Structures are given as C-alpha cells and as structure tokens.
C-alpha cells in the first residue's frame, strides 16, 4: 500500500549573516518556526551554512543549501553534500555553472535556477538547455520580473519541457512593518518531512506556491493524483480545483496547455471548487491573479522607484497570488 502524502510548507531561499542577511542562523530558524513552516533550505551566497546533512530543529526540517552566485546568474543547490566552492571564487562562465550542476547531481542534490529574468541579478547565459531540476519563478514579494518568469516558464511547458516551478522569499531582512520571510511560501505534497521526500516533491513538481504561510491554498487533482503527477487521459477524465481562502476581487484560471478552460472571479472571501472535463493531452495548471487598488498602485510605484527604478516607468500588470505546477495528461 502506497504511503499517504501530506502537504508541508517551506521556503527554498533564505540568507543569514553568513552572507548578506542580517539574522544569524539561529535567529532565522527561530523566525521560521514562528511563521509555522515545516521545512526550510538556507542558501547563503557561496557558503553552506548548515553543513553536510539536514537536521530537525524541533518540528522544523533544516536542509543544507547554497546559492552559487556569480555575475552571470544565481543557482540554488539543495541537499546534503552540496558541492564545496571557494567563497572568494565566484562562478563566471557557463561551463562553471554546468560543472557545479553536474557535481550536485552526482552528489544527489537538487539544482534550481534563481530569478532568471531579474533586472538586477538575472540569468545571462543559455537558460533553456541548462541542467536544472526546477526554476524559481516567484522570488520575493510579487513584482514585474516574476510575471516575466511565469510567462517564460509557461512557454517551456508548451514546448513539452517538464520543469517544475518553485518560489523562494530570498529573505535577507525586513523593512519597518514588512514580513518578507516565507513570502512566497512553497507547499509540497510529500510522503514525510524528510530531506529526501521534500526534495523529491520539489523535483516532481508536487507543489504549489502562494503568497505566505497562512495565505490562500490552491490544489489541482484528479483522483489521487495532484500537480506533478501523470494522469492517463480518457473521455471521462476530469480535474478538480480546490481553493481555500480566496479573496474578493481575485480570479482563478485553469489552463489546459495554451487555453484557459475555466475562470472564476470571487465576489466575496471564501473557498471555491470546480470540476472541469473535456481535456486535451498535455498539462493543466492553475493560478490566482489580482489587481492592485489605486492606493496600492501608488505605494508600489514609490517602492520600485527606490528598489528597481526601471519598473517605475512600466505599466503595473495583474500579479499572481497563487500558482500550481502542472498536472500532466498523458
């Protein structure tokens, strides 16, 4: 009998005082416990804070990781036995990045490209052919570059590439009243809260990303199968959408390949379910979008003038509040 899977929430991208964060590892772990996370991956720049093996701190699983950081791109490697790198020798050439990914895979680790279309620190090398296990589509609180990441990722799916998305807060510090830790949060559907099962779920795409640990949940399923799983397509195949805690004014979309096959806009805060059939081979995925209010649009413009000046001149798009990985129809 197959072991039952459970939903576990965590953060894939965190920094401490061992690179450019302001929280010590102990402080950061304590903060993650307060946020109610089940697992975390600490990914200091070119430095493995955790060491060779993951461990439990109370009920929180702490997984080793490292953000391999160079001028041409940032690469997260997760798991025990992360390849060592000289902290003072940053990777620069594509071949150096691919060798790091190769060594990581030899060691049983998981490789993810970070914030590929970030205007400040994006990926400036070949992306489509890079040997990654996932891509960080959602980095830090929502902004325009994340929506560019999302569009690129969707196009990869349409080309037939099975590339799971992840979210990571890239947490360094808070600013005044902000709570940026675990914003966004990645939920995985795993057999247990162990390194092996968490990373397996991330590589398979048995996951969704949402705004924060207590925010909206979104799940696509077909029988016992969820996002990241395969479903044999028949004339009777239907997928079920389940949204918990959807906010007024937000709208949910279900894609079947390049077509939106279902859309619903919430008129009040609450839960929402739907069942959709008449599907085509390929994939289905779901997302929840929202628009800023006039006050929030003004505030956003003021923030990006300081943080990312180029964005201040761009139209503000609809942003994603939640997004799922694909459920594959074969």
Which tens digit of pLDDT belongs to each residue from 212-245?
999 999 999 999 999 999 999 999 999 999 999 9
Q: Are 55 and 40 in contact (CB under 8 A)?
A: no
* Cα–Cα dist 31/29, whole Å: 5
Q: For residue 110, what pLDDT is reported?
A: 98
The β-bridge partners of 52 are none
Q: For residue 283, what pLDDT is reported?
A: 98
Q: For residue 2, what pLDDT is reported?
A: 67
Task: Identify whether residues 3 and 53 lie together within a single domain.
Answer: yes
> What CATH number did the domain enclosing 311 receive?
2.60.40.10
> Which residue range(s) make up the domain with 228?
216-330
DSSP 52: S
pLDDT band at 3 (very low <50, low <70, confident <90, very high): confident
Pairing of strands 282-290, 327-329: antiparallel
Percent of the chain with pLDDT over 70: 99
Q: Are 214 and 247 in contact (CB under 8 A)?
A: no
**Which uninterrupted H or E stretch holds 110?**
strand 110-113
Task: Identify whether residues 177 and 266 lie together within a single domain.
Answer: no
* Cα–Cα dist 238/147, whole Å: 28
Q: Specify the higher pLDDT residue, 2 or 128.
A: 128
Q: For residue 57, what pLDDT is reported?
A: 98
- Which of 185, 214, 243 corresponds to the end of one domain? 214
Q: Are 230 and 264 in contact (CB under 8 A)?
A: no
The β-bridge partners of 274 are 241
- Which of 191, 214, 237 corresponds to the end of one domain? 214
Task: Identify whether residues 135 and 98 lie together within a single domain.
Answer: yes
Domain count, the chain: 2
Tokens (6 digits) for 89: 């020798």
Task: Identify whether residues 60 and 204 lie together within a single domain.
Answer: yes
* Cα–Cα dist 168/287, whole Å: 17
Tell me how many degrees the CA angle 52-140-127 measures, rounded to the nearest 5: 75
Task: Identify whether residues 131 and 224 lie together within a single domain.
Answer: no
Q: For residue 158, what pLDDT is reported?
A: 98
> What CATH number did the domain enclosing 100 receive?
3.20.20.140
How high does pLDDT run on average in the chain?
Answer: 96
List, for residues 43-83, the tens digit of each pLDDT value. 999 999 999 999 999 999 999 999 999 999 999 999 999 99
Rg, C-alpha atoms of the chain? 19
Task: Identify whether residues 140 and 5 lie together within a single domain.
Answer: yes
Q: For residue 87, what pLDDT is reported?
A: 66
List, for residues 149-205, the tens digit of each pLDDT value. 999 999 999 999 999 999 999 999 998 888 999 999 999 999 999 999 999 999 999
Task: Identify whether residues 52 and 172 lie together within a single domain.
Answer: yes
* Cα–Cα dist 226/324, whole Å: 10
Does pLDDT of 291 surpass 60? yes
Coil, helix or strand at residue 144: helix
* Cα–Cα dist 164/153, whole Å: 9
């Amino acid at each position: 009998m197959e072991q039952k899977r459970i939903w576990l929430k965590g953060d894939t991208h965190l920094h401490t005082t061992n690179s450019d964060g302001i929280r010590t590892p102990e402080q950061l772990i304590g903060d993650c416990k307060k946020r109610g996370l089940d697992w975390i991956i600490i990914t200091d720049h070119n430095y493995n804070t955790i060491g060779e093996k993951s461990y439990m701190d109370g009920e929180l699983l702490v997984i080793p990781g490292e953000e391999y950081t160079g001028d041409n791109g940032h690469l997260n490697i997760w798991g025990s036995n992360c390849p060592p790198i000289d902290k003072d020798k940053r990777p620069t050439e594509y071949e150096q990045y691919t060798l790091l990914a190769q060594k990581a895979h030899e060691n049983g680790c998981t490789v993810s490209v970070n914030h590929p279309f970030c205007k400040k620190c994006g990926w400036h090398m070949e992306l489509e052919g890079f040997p990654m296990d996932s891509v960080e589509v959602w980095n830090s609180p929502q902004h325009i570059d994340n929506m560019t990441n999302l569009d690129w990722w969707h196009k990869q799916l349409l080309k037939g590439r099975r590339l799971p998305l992840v979210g990571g807060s890239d947490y360094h510090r808070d600013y005044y009243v902000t709570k940026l830790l675990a914003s966004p949060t990645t939920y995985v559907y795993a057999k247990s809260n162990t390194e092996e099962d968490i990373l397996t779920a991330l590589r398979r795409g048995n996951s969704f990303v949402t705004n924060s640990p207590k925010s909206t949940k979104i799940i696509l399923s077909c029988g016992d199968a969820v996002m990241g799983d395969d479903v044999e397509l028949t004339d009777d195949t239907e997928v079920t959408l389940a949204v918990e805690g959807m906010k007024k004014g937000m709208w949910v979309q279900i894609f079947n390949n390049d077509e939106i096959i279902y859309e619903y806009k919430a008129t009040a805060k609450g839960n929402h379910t739907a069942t959709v059939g008449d599907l085509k081979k390929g994939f289905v995925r779901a997302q929840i979008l929202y628009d800023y209010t006039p006050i929030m649009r003004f505030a956003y413009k003021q923030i990006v003038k300081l943080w990312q000046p180029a964005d201040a001149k761009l139209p503000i798009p609809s942003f994603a509040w939640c997004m799922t990985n694909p459920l594959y129809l074969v």
